Structure 1
Amino acid sequence: MEKAATTVFSLALVFMKFLIALGGGAANNTSSDESALLAFKSHITYDPNHILTTNWSTNTSFCHWLGVSCRRRGQNRVTSLNLSNMGLRGTIPPQIGNLSFLTYFNISYNHFNGHLPAELGQLHRLKVYH
């Protein structure tokens, strides 16, 4: 009887660790998206309309930031980044590759310089890039 109780207890611990890992992973992925967007913001050297400097704030969910769209079901993950025609200047940081659910990325009609980060190649869901 004692051996069976120990086995049940061990299985319960393994199951709890599994649930914690699932929950922690979801939070880390969501915070990874936010971190990637904040890294992008930090590489903007000129924002003439102060769109990113005023709207992209950790006081609100990144899914409500201007130009950012997230998927609706499950955890919030960035699926679209549309910052076209905002007069932005800067570079694209490698952290953009952490937006693993990104399908649409439009930064046309801005003034980005430097190299495209190799991490863009990690975005296997990306369908549209301008």
Structure 2
Amino acid sequence: MDRAAVRRRRDEAEAYYEVVVLCAGSSSHADWKAAGANAVLGGIAAADAICGAVLGYHHVGENHAQARRLLDTACSPDRQPGNHLKRLTDEKSNFQHSSSRVSRSQTDRLVVALERLVVTMRQKTDPTS
């Protein structure tokens, strides 16, 4: 990934994060589900930006365990970003493909995971560092 691609993924992660914050504060189950679904997408974009900035490439494909391992490599020795990505991708089907209702606490856990990944992303993709 070149700098422009890293910047695009970083900007996408930031946009997803903004949507997540707006929807998560709602009292609607549908909005909580939208927040969680967008948190997953934002987390994947943040992981891509981190890996692109640090390693020069990111994982491509649906294997989230491989994406997590690559993120662990990019953030080594800190494994927390990989744990946050796992938390998000573990809920992908529930928030994006299921007709089940989700709770505010389920959504809040994803919001926190995304927030922490975004903080790491900002640190790793800051052009002045």
Which structure shows the higher strand fraction?
1
* TM-score band, normalised by shorter chain: 0.3 to 0.5
Structure with greater contact order relative to length (CA < 8 Å, sep ≥ 6)? 2
TM-score, normalisation: structure 2: 0.35
When Rg is computed on C-alpha atoms for both structures, the one with the higher figure is 1
TM-score, normalisation: structure 1: 0.35
